Amino acid sequence: MSWSRLKTVVRGAQAAIESEPKHLAPLRPIVSEAVLLLSNPPTKESQDELRYLLTKIQEFVIPWRPSPRPRSGVFYIQPKWAKSTDSQATEALAMLDALPAAQAITADSVPALGNMTMKVFVSHSSADKAIAETFVQLVRGALNISSKEIRCTSVEGYKLPAGSESSEQLRSEVFGCDLFIALLSPASMQSVYVMFELGARWGTKRYFAPIMVAGTTPGDLKPPLSGVHAIDGTSESDVHQLLADMGAKLSLPVEGPSTYVKVLRGFINQASATMK
């Protein structure tokens, strides 16, 4: 059994659920969350969460199962969508239980590439390069962090090193960085790569701060990410609090506001501009 094969089965359940929007509508966010979990490397936490979600799906369709003791003269045909959803969820649970424990990985088991752990990883869309660049300047000004300790792939000086295996390096840094910051604009929320990074980091249960910019709001986040407290990138007090939290997590002092307030207001102005 494999994680990728399991994803195929859960996608089958998703297709069955999508085919019956009337009765199975409550299962759509649940199965979408399951597919998101399966889009990332397995961890113990993601396996436990996946088991919970699949059980919820199975429990929901139980009422449509044929009775084990049918009444005389009563002929019942289980709806095709109920039968398919039920069988796919049951198969997925059996596959999940059959996965070897060795396949489950934790954030601590992901090898770090290079000799330095990335302190801050800024996930973003390349369309938001200007916002990302100003945010990096803000973090450096407020926390006095070296450029080598920040990853921001669209910004010069913070890109991946030449010759690196990009997918493996990014995977390692998403899992292993101290702080994961996501700049969530309309563009980034449509980016497969950004959503992959968000899901991967969410699965580690480590520090993760989404910042809503360019017209997005916390209401735009879908489960399971909707359960994470989001920062309003247009709020000066929210951004000040974020910097204080980052400093506390990194055990670094935060510089006085006068040293970075100009950059902070520049970031807020950019974050307030609605994308067209």
Choice among 5-9, 108-112, 132-136, 149-153 with the minimum mean pLDDT: 108-112
Least confident of 8-12, 202-206, 242-246: 202-206
pLDDT band at 101 (very low <50, low <70, confident <90, very high): low
Predicted local confidence at residue 115, as pLDDT: 43
Shortest CA distance to 114 belongs to which of 161, 175, 81, 79? 161
Mean pLDDT, rounded, for 13-27: 87
Beta strands, E only, 33-139:
120-123
77/21 Cα distance (integer angstroms): 20
Tell me the DSSP string of 186-218: TTGGG-HHHHHHHHHHHHHTS-EEEEE-TT--G
Please state which of the four CATH numbers 3.40.50.150, 3.30.360.10, 2.60.40.10, 3.40.50.10140 is assigned to the domain occupying 120-272: 3.40.50.10140
Q: What is the reported pLDDT for 217? A: 87
DSSP line for 205-268: TS-EEEEE-TT--GGGPPTTGGGSPPEETT-HHHHHHHHHHHHHHHT-PPPPGGGTHHHHHHHH
**Can you tell me the distance from the alpha carbon of 75 to that of 20, in angstroms, rounded to the nearest whole number?**
22
Average pLDDT over residues 137-163: 86
Instruction: Find the mean pLDDT for residues 32-58.
Output: 83
- Round the CA-based radius of gyration of the chain to a whole number and report it: 22
Mean pLDDT of 42-52: 81
Three-state DSSP class for residue 12: helix
According to the model, what pLDDT value does residue 172 have? Answer: 80
Cβ atoms of 11 and 17 within 8 Å: the answer is: no
Selection from 33, 36, 53 nearest residue 194 by Cα: 36
- Domain spans in the chain, listed from the N-terminal domain onward: 3-105, 120-272
Can you give the pLDDT at residue 116? Answer: 53
Strand order in the sheet with 231-232: 150-151, 120-123, 179-184, 208-212, 231-232
Rounded to whole angstroms, the Cα distance separating 27 from 106 reads 28
- Tell me the average pLDDT across 13-20: 89
Share of the chain above pLDDT 90, in %: 30
Which phi and psi angles does 231 have, rounded to 5°? -90, 135
Tell me what the mean pLDDT of segment 181-200 comes to: 86
pLDDT at residue number 131: 92
DSSP 8-state code for residue 126: G
Over 80: is that where the pLDDT of 144 sits? Answer: yes
pLDDT higher than 70, residue 112? no
Query: Which residue's entry shows tokens 């990302």?
Result: 132
pLDDT confidence bin for 70, thresholds 50/70/90? low
Q: Evaluate if residue 211 carries a pLDDT over 70.
A: yes
Condensed to tens digits (0 to 9), the pLDDT of residues 216-271 reads: 988 888 877 777 888 999 999 999 999 999 999 999 999 888 888 999 999 999 99
Work out the end-to-end distance of the chain between its first and last CA atoms, rounded to an integer number of angstroms.
46
Give the type of residue at 170.
L
- By CB neighbour count within 10 A (0-12 exposed, 13-18 middle, 19+ buried), where does 56 fall? middle
Q: Where are the beta strands (DSSP E) in the chain?
A: 120-123, 150-151, 179-184, 208-212, 231-232
Mean confidence (pLDDT) of the chain: 83
